[in-house]
């Protein structure tokens, strides 16, 4: 926990000025909640980042347009169907979701963002979704965060939410967040949705700057299977309900609030990696000694996305040669004679060659729920960290049976 930041209860509803609800509209075969609404009490500064996948889903296309003016009133979400690769009908259905929420909330459709997650290429049962949106709006309250966390899940094994409070110039501000993501995870801004709220009075430019700074070093540093979803969406809404003058990017108050937003995004990002489909271990990959940050990221992702590294961790094998292979193929500049690899806290490679180590000690270190891999490229001073998970038999089963 960073100094000055404290955990609080409430998740996405910890900040003042927001209401939420999650309901079952019949999209999930299980009958569990599958439609959610997060609404600000008033139209407020909002920023969003989306997938860079060229096959972006209809809700992404609609939300990009609606958030362009830097404001929104609400976000509506459905799980169980991605509304992706659904053509003009999909676009119309996403717009209909926004219109239904707007009519129920008493705002304009352009003030509603839309997100969907689930199976690609299947027409959205829009009548069910619209009925769910209307019901969710009727149920909006200040304790609906848990219901939202459940409603946006697909193959997730646990809901993902967190909230913190920070004091800035004698005034307390809260930042809360909720996310979903387990497979098809490699955000480029995984299937990932994240919704962040704050009651700090960020103006639209500060909202956008804070979100982009946070996403770059959190959600953009997660990979489960290297696949970037068609639906990735991350939204930040700032109600300003905690009071105070508007915060701009140049304001001295911006930095501490931005740190709190980054902290929340980082916690959610690690939850997504920990909950990778079939995962048994969270893997933190840190590359140091890189020529620049770009090289550090390139090498870290090469390690984190290597099936051989991920299966070695699953099997409890400190096979550092697979890490060496991954950084070597990454294209990052390195000095082979200076490469150093620490696998699960055990030094396994120094100056590019093997170092004697206890296989038993390494196996014990690899048996826990979290594993860290550190590789020094010996080429500079830059570093980067990426989070991933192990690759298991269960991942194959989950994705082999996904539509069955």
Would you name the residues annotated as active-site residues? Answer: 191
Q: Of 134, 214, 212, 148, which Cα lies nearest the Cα of 180?
A: 148
Long-range pairs for 154-160: beta carbons < 8 A, 24 or more residues apart: 154/79, 154/80, 154/117, 154/118, 154/180, 154/182, 154/191, 155/182, 155/183, 155/277, 155/398, 155/402, 156/180, 156/181, 156/182, 156/275, 157/182, 157/275, 158/271, 158/275, 160/268, 160/271, 160/272, 160/275
Rounded alpha-carbon distances, angstroms, from residue 120 to 6, 39, 90, 403: 39, 27, 11, 10
Cα gap 339→349, rounded to integer Å: 7
Compute the Cα dihedral for 337, 315, 361, 356 and give only its sign.
negative
Q: Of 215, 209, 227, 208, which Cα lies nearest the Cα of 189?
A: 215
């Amino acid at each position: 926990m960073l100094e000055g930041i404290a955990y609080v209860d409430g998740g996405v509803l910890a900040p003042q000025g927001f209401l939420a609800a999650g309901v079952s509209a019949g999209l999930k075969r299980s009958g569990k909640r599958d439609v959610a609404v997060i609404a600000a009490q008033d139209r407020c500064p909002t920023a969003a980042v989306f997938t860079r996948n060229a096959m972006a889903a209809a809700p992404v296309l609609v939300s990009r347009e609606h958030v362009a003016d830097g404001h929104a009133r609400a976000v509506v979400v459905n799980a169980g169907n991605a509304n992706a690769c659904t053509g003009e009908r999909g676009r119309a259905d996403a717009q209909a979701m926004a219109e239904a929420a707007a009519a129920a909330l008493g705002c304009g459709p352009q003030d509603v963002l839309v997100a969907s997650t689930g199976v690609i290429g299947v027409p959205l049962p829009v009548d069910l979704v619209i009925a769910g949106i209307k019901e969710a709006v009727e149920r909006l309250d200040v304790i609906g965060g848990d219901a939202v966390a459940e409603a946006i899940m697909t193959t997730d094994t646990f809901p993902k939410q967190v909230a913190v409070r920070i004091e800035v110039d004698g005034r307390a501000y809260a930042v809360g967040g909720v996310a979903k993501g387990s497979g098809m995870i490699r955000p480029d801004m995984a299937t990932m949705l994240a919704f962040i709220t704050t009651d700090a009075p960020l103006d639209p430019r500060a909202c956008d700057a804070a979100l982009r700074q946070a996403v770059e070093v959190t959600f953009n540093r997660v990979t489960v299977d290297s696949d970037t979803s068609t639906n990735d969406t991350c939204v930040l809404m700032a109600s300003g309900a905690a009071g105070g003058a508007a915060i701009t990017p140049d304001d001295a108050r911006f930095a501490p609030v931005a740190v709190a937003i980054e902290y929340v995004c980082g916690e959610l990002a690690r939850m997504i990696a920990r909950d990778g489909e079939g995962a048994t271990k969270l893997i933190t990959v840190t590359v140091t000694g890189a020529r620049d940050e770009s090289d550090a990221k390139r090498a870290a992702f090469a390690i984190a996305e290597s099936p051989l590294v991920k299966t070695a961790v699953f099997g409890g094998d400190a096979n550092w040669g697979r890490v060496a292979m991954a950084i070597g193929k990454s294209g990052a500049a390195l000095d082979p004679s200076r490469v150093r690899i620490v696998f699960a806290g055990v030094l396994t490679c120094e100056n590019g060659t093997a170092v004697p180590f206890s296989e038993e000690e390494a196996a014990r270190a690899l048996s826990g729920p979290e594993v860290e891999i550190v590789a020094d490229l010996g080429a500079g001073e830059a570093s980067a960290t990426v989070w991933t998970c192990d690759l298991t038999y269960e991942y194959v089963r989950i994705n082999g049976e996904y539509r069955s």
